Amino acid sequence: KRVAVLISGRGSNMSALIEAAKAPDYPAEIVGVLSNKAAAGGLAVAQAEGIATASLAQSRFPSREMFEDTMTQVLESWEAEIVCLAGFMRILGEDFVNHWAGRMINIHPSLLPAYRGLDTHARALADGATVHGCSVHFVTPGLDEGPVILQAQVPVLAGDTPETLSARVLVEEHRIYPQALAMLCRGEVSLLV
Ligand code: GRF
């Protein structure tokens, strides 16, 4: 399957997907990386891998709908069949989400449904959670509400800070995101609408 990745920053999950896709039996090819930030570090990484890249600033568009329609045009110019959100820090509108329904997944740094939204590691620590982790889920119009495909747990350790905890979770993100994408590409999981 032809897969596009949407990023806003360093793109370490994007890199994990690119590396996984190098295996000859991996069922996806990363055909493009789109960022809403021109300065996203992940863009240079993708370019160095010979992958098509684009950046679109939402502020340059008169409306969110026009920004998102242009994103879909870019993704379709790459003939992308599946979209992976990987640290894409914009909430997506209903039209865009519905256009890609069942074909768009996200990595979120919590054990959903716990800690939707931002600052998940600090919130888990503030609650005294003993277990934390990450989830790959289908993207649906409600923020971080779509059905979960895979999760991984990590322990919360004494003395953890949001930084140490996020580093432990990130290792698991890089492991389960390629697994979940492969499951979707192989038709082992689908979104029932
Ligand atoms: C990851 O923790 C991801 O779960 C979250 O944003 C972070 C992005 O990191 N949504 P990276 O750009 O993939 O390195």
Q: Is 92 annotated as a binding residue?
A: yes
Ligand 1 and 146: CB distance under 6 A: no
Segment 133-165, tens digit of pLDDT: 999 999 999 999 999 999 999 999 999 999 999
Each of the 193 residues of the chain gets a pLDDT tens digit; together they read 999 999 999 999 999 999 999 999 999 999 999 999 999 999 999 999 999 999 999 999 999 999 999 999 999 999 999 999 999 999 999 999 999 999 999 999 999 999 999 999 999 999 999 999 999 999 999 999 999 999 999 999 999 999 999 999 999 999 999 999 999 999 999 998 6
* 70: its two tokens: 């242009």
Active-site residue numbers?
108
Report how far apart, in Å, the C-alpha atoms of 75 and of each of 29, 33, 118, 157, 162 are.
14, 9, 26, 41, 34
Q: Decide the pairing of beta strands 148-155 and 131-138.
A: antiparallel
For residue 137, give the 3-state DSSP assignment: strand
Residues 6+ apart with CB under 8 A from 84: 3, 4, 5, 6, 13, 14, 17, 104, 105, 106, 107, 177, 181
DSSP for residue 75: H
CATH class, domain 2-185, is alpha beta
The Å distance, Cα 86 to ligand 1 centre, comes to 6
Ligand 1 in reach of 84 Cβ (< 6 A): no
Residue 81, C-beta contacts closer than 8 angstroms, at least 6 positions apart: 1, 2, 3, 103
ipTM: 0.97
| Residue ID of nearest Cα to ligand 1 atom 3 | 87
The first and second tokens of residue 152, run together, are 């991984």
The CB of 133 under 6 Å from ligand 1? The reply is no
Could you tell me the CA-to-CA distances from 141 to 33, 95, 100, 137, 146 in Å, in that order? 22, 9, 11, 12, 8
Choose the residue to mutate in 13, 33, 37 for probing ligand 1, maximizing ligand atoms within 8 Å of C-beta. 13
Distances (CA, A) of 188 to 24, 107, 149: 19, 18, 10
Q: Are strands 29-35 and 104-108 parallel, antiparallel or unpaired?
A: unpaired
